[in-house]
Structure 1
Amino acid sequence: MLTKIKMPLPDIMNAALALDDSILDGDQVENLIKFCPTEEDVELLKNYTGDKESLGKCEQFFLELMKVPRVEAKLKVFCFKLQFNNQRADIRKSLYTVDSACEEIRNSNKLKEIMKKILSLGNTLNRGTARGAAVGFRLDSLLKLTDTRATNNKTTLMHYLCKVLDSRSSHLMDFHKDFISLEAASKIQLKALADEQRGVVKGLEKLETELIASENDGIVSEVFCKRLKDFTVAAGAEVRSLTALYTAVENNADGLALYFGEDPAGCPFEQVITTLLNFVRMFRRAHEENCKLAALEKKNTLKDADTDGPKSANSINKHGR
């Protein structure tokens, strides 16, 4: 693996200590980390007094690395720096997606109207029972609209809901267009996002620790310290901004469950989003099936009319003769 880096060993280390991403990329730095000498290797080589040119490339590489105090920690710092911008951008993008999904759902007047229609429909069906005159319903009840079927075992309450809305409130049928970020948000796990966020924070802490330690290394870490100090200032500001954003989005995500009258602890963001996404899909599928059935019925009606028409005319002509 070392041979893939086509540079003299001293130049490789100079580039690493300069945190120079124009010379070394993430994969190359990770390979360097894999080839860092163990404590046993260090003990064997530090007492070596023979001709260094007679050593193998691996041992020569170890000797070059051993010139740098805490070389593995420094390489991990470089690796963090190389990954930081992409990692930060990915986390921020995911947070914006979650935030957008929350806002789109809360601001959808069409969804509010549909929820009212569902509540009204439920109260009508349960009139005269203990479940009648309800003022609300659990969010997961949306997915049960396909469970209640008519005697033909094909038409569901969802089909009926779509039929009623299409005939009386057709402007609500495209409510799914309000949710641009819903599907993308359904693929995001806030817990995983929190772990990534904490990983970035811990990475920055390790970076700051190595910076403090490296200031006592002398000239070998002089360039490293200067470059790392500049990066630490910029990265620190980014991490603080990212942490504040995460906190705000997390509160917004919890607020989405509360918006539907659910406890965020029992109905977390992921469950809310998944439920709504499935409801949208089921609603659209039922509407599509209604449209296909209506088209088929219309076609059969026209076919019957065409069949009956000529027969009546022939009969009249026949009798007329």
Structure 2
Amino acid sequence: MLTKVKMPLPDLMSAALALDESVLDVDQVDNLIKFCPTKEEMELLKGYTGEKEKLGKCEQFFLELMKVPRVESKLRVFSFKIQFRQQIADLRKSLNTIDLASEQIRGSDKLKEIMKRILYLGNMLNQGTARGSAIGFRLDSLSKLTDTRATNNKITLMHYLCKVIASKSSYLLNFHEDLTTLESASKIQLKTLAEEMQAIVKGLEKVEMELTASESDGPVSMVFRKTLTGFISVAGAEVGSLSLLYSTVGKNADALALYFGEDPARYPFEQVISSLMNFVQMFRRAHQENCKQAELEKKKAQKEAQAEKCKSSKSI
């Protein structure tokens, strides 16, 4: 690692203590953390009384690190600072995606209309039974639309639904265009976002703890404290804003499950999104298959008509 360092070791440490991102990137800082001396190595070097120049570059590097109190902690602070903006941006983007997906789903009149038609279709098929007057259905039931087949085993209930909608309410066929963030939201796990949010909050707490501890370091940490104070001021506001967004998005995610009559504890946001995503894919696939079948039947009819025409001509 040290062979790649193209600057004097004192300058390297000055850049690290200044938290200067223009000199060191996160990989370099993480390497510095990885190669921090152990307690045993520091004890050995403390006992060295010879000339510093006679030591190897690695030992000289260790001596530079040992000049700084809690050097590993400071380097971890630096690593956190470098990654902070991107982590905040990525988490905010994911939260906004979830929020927008929830808003689009609940706000789609076309999706509501399709759900009404599915309910009507189910009640029609179950007419005369205990299930023939349902006022709703579970989201899991959407997958059964492709499981239920006609007696000829050629088409499914999904094909029939698409056919009915195409003939009577064709404006509903593009309902998926209301749900532009559904696919992106399907790739996000709320548990992962919770872990990322916690990591940012705890990371900032450690940064604040190191700032407090460094007050007794003396001149060696003067630039470090000044730079870190400015960073904490900005980062604190960012984390506060993100925490508020995280809380709001969590409530909206639960509200989405409730919107479909599901219990958020048993049917979480990810499951709602997954069910809807699968439904959209199955619906579009069935509609495409219907269109292909209709085209084949049209060509077959034209071919038969042409054959009949030729037969009539020969008869004359």
Question: Which band: TM-score by shorter chain?
Answer: over 0.9
Letter in 1 for 2:230: D
Displacement after TM superposition at 1:178 (Å): 0.3
Does the 8 Å contact 1:2/1:31 carry over to 2? no
Structure 1 counterpart of 2:177: 177
CA distance in 2: counterparts of 1:5 and 1:166, whole angstroms: 67
Displacement after TM superposition at 1:152 (Å): 2.2
TM-score by structure 2 length?
Answer: 0.99
Alignment of 1:233-272 (within 5 A): 233-272=233-272
Structure 2 counterpart of 1:104: 104
CA distance in 1: counterparts of 2:203 and 2:5, whole angstroms: 26
CA distance in 1: counterparts of 2:253 and 2:177, whole angstroms: 20
Structure 2 counterpart of 1:23: 23
CA distance in 1: counterparts of 2:132 and 2:151, whole angstroms: 23
Structure 1 counterpart of 2:217: 217
User: What secondary structure, in the 3-state scheme, does the structure 2 residue paired with 1:215 have?
Assistant: helix
User: What secondary structure, in the 3-state scheme, does the structure 2 residue paired with 1:135 have?
Assistant: coil
Displacement after TM superposition at 1:4 (Å): 1.3
Structure 2 counterpart of 1:231: 231
Residue-by-residue CA offset, 1:136-158 (whole Å, 9 max, x unaligned): 00011111100100122220000
CA distance in 2: counterparts of 1:52 and 1:72, whole angstroms: 22
Displacement after TM superposition at 1:49 (Å): 0.5
CA distance in 1: counterparts of 2:130 and 2:149, whole angstroms: 21
Identity of aligned residues (%): 70
Gaps of 5+ in 2: none
Structure 1 counterpart of 2:168: 168
Does the 8 Å contact 1:145/1:157 carry over to 2? yes
Structure 2 counterpart of 1:299: 299
Letter in 2 for 1:263: D
Structure 1 counterpart of 2:90: 90
Structure 2 counterpart of 1:319: none
Displacement after TM superposition at 1:53 (Å): 1.1
Displaced runs of 4 or more, over 3 A: none
User: What secondary structure, in the 3-state scheme, does the structure 2 residue paired with 1:296 have?
Assistant: helix
Residue-by-residue CA offset, 1:161-186 (whole Å, 9 max, x unaligned): 00000000000000000011000000
Residues matched between the structures, number? 316
Structure 2 counterpart of 1:9: 9
Letter in 2 for 1:141: S
Structure 1 counterpart of 2:51: 51
Superposed CA RMSD in Å reads 0.6
Displacement after TM superposition at 1:292 (Å): 0.4
Residue 76 in structure 1 maps to residue 73 in structure 2 = no
Letter in 2 for 1:129: T
Displacement after TM superposition at 1:3 (Å): 1.6
Letter in 1 for 2:83: Q
Gaps of 5+ in 1: 317-321
Displacement after TM superposition at 1:81 (Å): 0.3
CA distance in 2: counterparts of 1:207 and 1:99, whole angstroms: 30
CA distance in 2: counterparts of 1:95 and 1:174, whole angstroms: 26
Residue-by-residue CA offset, 1:277-299 (whole Å, 9 max, x unaligned): 00000000000000000000000
User: What secondary structure, in the 3-state scheme, does the structure 1 residue paired with 2:216 have?
Assistant: coil
